């Protein structure tokens, strides 16, 4: 990408996401608007894979003269911390993305999500289930076998409304009940087999404190948050492709603004740990000095290693956007920083293991000053004075 994160509009072929957006705009969908977002979970620091998503989402918004939103999907308070929120805000800003006044949290919408859940219960599209997590897995079936309906699936709307309110009021133990969408236990897509919308979890939230003891699931929260914010294109990685029918189902059943979800291949680098869970393990077990350890491929680690935001944006532009997973050689990332620094970094000389040399044909006490260019192709970076005398160290 260019220095302002916009995709290069002069490319001969537009990537498949641009083609979809072009078609949507030509058809007048959403009034031709483009509004993207980056929705991280605040349960760790961002890594190079997140940088690709940031550059893509913000770049598309800039390219089409649209809007970009930064939203935290903070639905799991047991794993989330304000430290992670602060680091993510700083890293996204450092990369060059600008969200203006559009910094949001899924927790901003907890009240609305609760009201929408009640709407689905009244419509017979959601129910309170008493199955444990293990029992729910047994009832779910497999890829080759349909699931079985929960014995609590046909509770009346009145009973479900009463139980759901009591869940919210803290009358039941953690994990004892869930609210589930009533879709199809025989659906080929397992994500449609009555997924969980709410679970009971007594955990203090970093923003809402102890206000709630039930928390919405990611699948229930994600699409509705996009809808509230007026997102037009929900761009995410391929692991969410099978979740798209559920995303669409919730928006359709609620009859709310329906963003279009588009999936792209996540970034995989050779010889690199890209899992946030594994990165967290490295930090917690003190295999590294912290999230900003230069050996880590977190954005903080890359910054300490000397990477520039321009180099990371250039790397994301070079690797492009694909529909199928692949692995990128680490050399591509290293070449991006090398090329960026080659254009901007002043040159310097340091002698780490000096060898003294005496020039016998230079008079003792004579010292000359030579001008050395700070950059061979950048005269504007000036020169440095280098002493030349009888005794030199090489």
**175/159 Cα distance (integer angstroms):** 19
Token pair for residue 304? 């300490």
Catalytic residue among 153, 201, 202, 266: 266
Assess whether 366 carries a catalytic annotation: no
Residue 236 has phi, psi (to 5 degrees) of -140, 175
Token pair for residue 180? 């589930």
**115/388 Cα distance (integer angstroms):** 79
Catalytic residue among 18, 41, 241, 253: 41
**314/340 Cα distance (integer angstroms):** 9
Which residues have C-beta within 8 Å of that of residue 261, sequence separation ≥ 6?
223, 234, 235, 236, 240, 244, 247, 248
Assess whether 41 carries a catalytic annotation: yes
Helix-, strand-, coil-residue percentages of the chain, each rounded to 5: 40, 15, 45
**120/250 Cα distance (integer angstroms):** 9
**234 closest CA partner among 121, 94, 68, 9:** 68
**42 closest CA partner among 70, 61, 23, 15:** 70
- Check: CB of residue 180 under 8 Å from CB of residue 197: yes
**55/60 Cα distance (integer angstroms):** 8
Assess whether 266 carries a catalytic annotation: yes
DSSP-based three-state secondary structure for 129: strand
Cβ density class 68-95: b for 16+ within 10 Å, e for less:
bbbbbbbbbbeebeeebbebbbebbeeb
- Check: CB of residue 299 under 8 Å from CB of residue 45: yes
Please report the DSSP string for 355-388 in residue order: -EEE-TTS-TT-EEEEEEESSTT-GGG-EEEEEE
Catalytic residue among 180, 193, 276, 313: 276
CA–centroid distance for 150 within its chain: 35
Residues catalogued as catalytic: 41, 266, 276
């Amino acid at each position: 990408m260019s220095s302002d994160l916009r995709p290069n509009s002069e490319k001969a072929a537009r990537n498949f996401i641009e083609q979809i957006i072009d078609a949507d705009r030509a058809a007048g969908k959403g009034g031709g608007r483009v509004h993207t977002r980056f929705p991280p979970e605040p349960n760790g620091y961002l890594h190079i894979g997140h940088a690709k998503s940031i550059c893509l989402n913000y770049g598309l918004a800039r390219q089409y003269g649209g809007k970009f939103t930064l939203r935290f999907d903070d639905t799991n308070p047991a794993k989330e911390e304000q430290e992670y929120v602060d680091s993510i805000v700083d890293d996204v800003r450092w990369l060059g993305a600008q969200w203006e006044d559009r910094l949001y949290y899924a927790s901003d919408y907890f009240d609305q999500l609760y009201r929408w859940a009640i709407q689905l219960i009244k419509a017979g599209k959601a129910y309170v289930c008493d199955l444990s997590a293990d029992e729910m897995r047994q009832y779910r079936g497999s890829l080759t076998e349909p699931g079985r309906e929960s014995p609590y699936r046909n509770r009346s709307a009145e009973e479900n409304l009463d139980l759901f309110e009591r869940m919210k009021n803290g009358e039941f133990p953690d994990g004892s009940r869930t609210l589930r969408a009533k879709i199809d236990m025989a659906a080929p897509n397992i994500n449609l087999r009555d997924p969980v919308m709410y679970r009971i979890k007594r955990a203090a939230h970093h923003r809402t404190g102890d206000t709630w003891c039930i928390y919405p699931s990611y699948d229930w929260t994600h699409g509705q948050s996009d809808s509230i914010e007026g997102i037009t294109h929900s761009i995410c990685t391929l692991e969410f492709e099978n979740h798209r029918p559920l995303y669409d189902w919730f928006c359709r059943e609620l009859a709310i603004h329906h963003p279009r979800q588009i999936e792209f291949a996540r970034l995989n680098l050779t010889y690199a740990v890209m899992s946030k869970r594994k990165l967290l393990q490295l930090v917690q077990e003190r295999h590294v000095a912290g999230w900003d350890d230069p050996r880590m491929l977190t954005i903080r680690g890359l910054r300490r290693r000397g990477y520039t935001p321009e180099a990371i944006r250039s790397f994301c532009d070079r690797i492009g956007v694909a529909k199928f997973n692949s692995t990128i050689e680490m050399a591509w990332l290293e070449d991006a920083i090398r090329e960026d620094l080659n254009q901007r970094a002043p040159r310097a000389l340091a002698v780490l293991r000096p060898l003294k040399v005496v020039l016998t044909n230079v008079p003792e006490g004579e010292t000359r000053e030579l001008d050395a260019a700070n950059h061979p192709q950048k005269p504007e970076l000036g020169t440095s004075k280098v002493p030349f005398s009888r005794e030199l160290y090489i």
